[in-house]
Amino acid sequence: MHDPMDCPYCNLLADDQQQIVLVNGTCCFIQKESEQQILQGSGLIIPKEHRENVFELTDQEWSDTRELLLQAKQLLDQTYSPNGYSVGWNTGETGGQHIFHAHLHVIPRFKDEPYAGKGIRYWIKQEANKRHSSHD
């Protein structure tokens, strides 16, 4: 268990790089200024209550996450006209989660990116990621 007192997503206003863009009953869509140079328009949907990972979300948080995802897509479509999206959760250290407050990545994708066409599973599907020992 990680301490919510140290959680940057429980204390959104403590980081002046983070901006709350959309909000509803239980969730927020935020963007971090420092990430906009490379991942233009990208943001996170975060439950207001501390939930360590996606598997702890309440039914209402799931519903509100979906609502914000659709609102974020509409806003991002109007603002940036992306050609697609990568949307996903990282869960647990091995799954790539570094901040232990559930957060859904919403990343507009553009056909002129160097990694266009490479989705969220691209890196983990590579032969170099094959496990060397099987777990029986």
Please name which of 100, 96, 122, 95 lies closest in space to residue 109, comparing C-alpha atoms.
122
DSSP 89: E
Q: How far apart are the C-alpha atoms of 93 and 68, rounded to whole Å?
A: 26
Q: pLDDT of 86-114, one tens digit each?
A: 999 999 999 999 999 999 999 999 999 99
pLDDT value at residue 3: 65
- Each residue of 13-30: pLDDT tens digit? 888 889 999 999 999 999
> What pLDDT, on the 0 to 100 scale, is given for residue 28?
97
Residue 80 to residues 41, 85, 88, 113, Cα–Cα distance (Å):
7, 12, 20, 14
Q: Please give the model's pTM, rounded to 2 decimal places.
A: 0.90
Three-point CA angle 104, 110, 114, nearest 5°: 105
pLDDT tens for each residue of 42-91: 999 999 999 999 999 999 999 999 999 999 999 999 999 999 999 999 99
Give dist(CA 14, CA 78) in Å, integer: 29
Q: Is 38 exposed, middle or buried (0-12, 13-18, 19+ CB in 10 A)?
A: exposed
Burial of 87 (0-12, 13-18, 19+ CB in 10 A): middle
Query: The tokens of 133 are what?
Result: 């020992």
For 4-129, CATH number out of 3.30.470.20, 3.30.428.10, 3.60.20.10, 3.90.190.20 equals 3.30.428.10
